[in-house]
């Protein structure tokens, strides 16, 4: 019997090529579209994405197309968390949260309830089986590798997931789409908040977090300007700091209680550190023995950094980098690799 795969058709070209490749490989392919966020106030692409996904399913001859409404769950598990974290002065990572709570939890659970063998997404990463363990590896193109955003997955989720694009570069994906005349072959990629779309982050946050004027101060505590709310800023940020006659200024600290942000130039030593601690250690592969020198990154698209990891206690680690890192930010994720294999992640203290 053919293996049954439920493909998440997003309306974008990557997911369309994913479905096409699975059909070519002989899977019984069904498609679904996730309705997670709809807003009349913002440039929300949900309806347009749905229509594109339907066109793709019809073009590829996919007979079963389902639409699931996860708006309530998405609002509770992602949107409300974004608001609460910003209120607390924390800069969240919605893409990692969305993958862990929506795409590889709700989506996977629903697919298993419907007796599918696998789910399939267009993520640019690689899943390999090794002695009954499932490895999450980087994609062929390191510039667009998305393994960082998948760091919260576990062995069960990996065993039930397919990433058919893992051997293809982005130009090759586009070429396939054009060669088979997919209806969304030339649609530009989305670069916005997961399922929300192209929104102004300030306006998005102001719906739940009223603005409150505060001081911008330099590292000598001189007032140099004014901002609308300290929670909006993250360490290392330059955007929205408009102070005339000054060189480029960056956030080096922030004080949510005083509603102040502290800024200075790029070379400020307070913006750089070679050490961090992190909590909620998550092993995506088998647990390994500390201390050991591996590779890590503290943000998406950062080049791998050499790091020595030491075990602390209660699922906490200390990471000592060979070189100082710019703008280490609390509540972001540190992801650890052995060569190209993602082995662990933790939340930066």
In angstroms, rounded to a whole number, what is the distance separating the alpha carbons of residues 157 and 122?
15
Pairing of β 214-218 and β 260-264: parallel
Pairing of β 250-255 and β 161-162: unpaired
**What is the SS3 assignment for the chain?**
CCCEEEEECCCCHHHHHHHHHHHHCCCEEEEEEEECCCCCCCECCHHHHHHHHHHHHHHHCCCCEEEEECHHHHHHHHHHHHHHHHHCCCCCCHHHHHHHHHHHHHHHHHHHHCCCCEEECCCCCEEEEECCEEEEECCCCCCCCCHHHHCCCCHHHHHCEECCCCCCCHHHHHHHHHHCCCCCCCCCCCCCECCCEECCHHHHHHCCCCCCCEEEEECCCCEEEEECCHHHCCCCCCCCCCCCCCCCCEEEEEECCCCEEEEECCCCHHHEEEEEEEEEEEECCCCCCCCEEEEEECCCCCCCEEEEEEECCCCCEEEEEEEEEECCCCCCEEEEEECCEEEEEEEEC
Give 28's strand partners. 4
* Active centre residues (catalytic): 98, 194
In angstroms, rounded to a whole number, what is the distance separating the alpha carbons of residues 57 and 33?
10
In angstroms, rounded to a whole number, what is the distance separating the alpha carbons of residues 138 and 151?
11
């Amino acid at each position: 019997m053919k293996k049954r795969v439920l493909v998440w058709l997003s309306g974008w070209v990557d997911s369309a090529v994913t479905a096409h490749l699975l059909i070519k490989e002989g899977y019984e392919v069904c498609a679904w579209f996730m309705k997670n966020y709809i807003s009349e106030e913002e440039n929300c692409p949900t309806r347009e994405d749905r229509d594109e996904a339907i066109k793709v399913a019809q073009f590829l001859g996919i007979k079963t197309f389902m639409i699931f409404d996860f708006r309530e769950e998405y609002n509770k598990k992602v949107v409300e968390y974004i608001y609460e974290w910003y209120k607390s002065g924390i800069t969240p990572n919605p893409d990692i949260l969305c993958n862990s709570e929506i795409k590889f939890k709700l989506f996977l659970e629903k697919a298993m309830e419907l007796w599918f063998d696998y789910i399939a997404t267009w993520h640019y990463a690689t899943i390999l089986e090794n002695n009954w363990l499932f490895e999450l590896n980087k994609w062929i193109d390191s510039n667009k590798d998305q393994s960082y955003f998948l760091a919260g997955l576990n062995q069960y989720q990996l065993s039930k997931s397919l990433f058919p694009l893992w051997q293809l570069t982005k130009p090759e994906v586009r070429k396939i789409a054009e060669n088979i005349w997919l209806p969304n072959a030339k649609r530009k990629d989305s670069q916005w908040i997961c399922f929300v779309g192209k929104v102004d982050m300030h306006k998005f946050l102001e719906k739940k977090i009223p603005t409150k004027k505060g001081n911008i101060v330099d590292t000598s505590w001189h007032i140099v300007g004014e901002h609308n709310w300290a929670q909006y800023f993250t360490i290392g940020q330059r955007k929205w700091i408009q102070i005339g006659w000054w060189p480029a200024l960056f956030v080096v600290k922030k004080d949510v209680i005083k509603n102040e942000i502290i800024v200075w130039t790029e070379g400020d030593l307070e913006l750089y550190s070679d050490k961090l601690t992190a909590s909620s250690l998550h092993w995506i592969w088998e647990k390994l023995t500390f201390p050991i020198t591996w590779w890590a990154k503290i943000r998406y698209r950062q080049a791998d950094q050499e790091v020595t990891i030491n075990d602390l206690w209660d699922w906490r680690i200390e990471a000592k980098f060979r070189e100082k890192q710019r703008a280490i930010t609390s509540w972001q994720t540190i992801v650890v690799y052995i060569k190209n294999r993602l082995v662990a992640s933790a939340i930066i203290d």
